[in-house]
Amino acid sequence: MKKYTIGEVSDILQLKPHVLRYWEKEFSFLKPAKSATGRRVYSERDVHLLFRLKYLLYTRRFTMEGAKQKIWEELSAPNADLKSVIHELRGDILKLRTKITDNKRKQE
């Protein structure tokens, strides 16, 4: 399973690192592990949760509390495994989109 640094997650999600750190304080389900040197190490699950959170907050315009409640509902739902697969696929698509965008910028 791939692990990501806060810089990599910031690039993937196109968010500033301070936003990610703030969300960690606000959302107890976001708990990236720490490396031996104390740096954040995000799992793929963390990245998928962050994609979902960004979608709820920025696209669906949920409040922080509403997004928190929605994600807790999804995590505790009987079909949470299926939703996890969907979020994983969405994450893969967004990563590909980011790579394509980056490649286009480099070519210009």
Q: Residue 5 has what pLDDT?
A: 94
- pTM of this structure: 0.69
Mean confidence (pLDDT) of the chain? 86
Question: pLDDT digits over 7-40, tens only?
Answer: 999 999 999 999 999 999 999 888 899 999 999 9
Tell me the HSE value of 91 on the side-chain side, using a 13 A CA sphere: 20
Task: Kindly report the CATH class assigned to 6-107.
Answer: mainly alpha
Q: How far is CA 13 from the centre of its chain?
A: 7
| Interatomic CA distance for residues 38 and 80, integer angstroms | 31
Question: pLDDT digits over 33-72, tens only?
Answer: 999 999 999 998 899 899 999 999 999 999 999 999 988 8
Residue type, 66: G
Q: Residue 83 has what pLDDT?
A: 62
Domain boundaries, the chain: 6-107
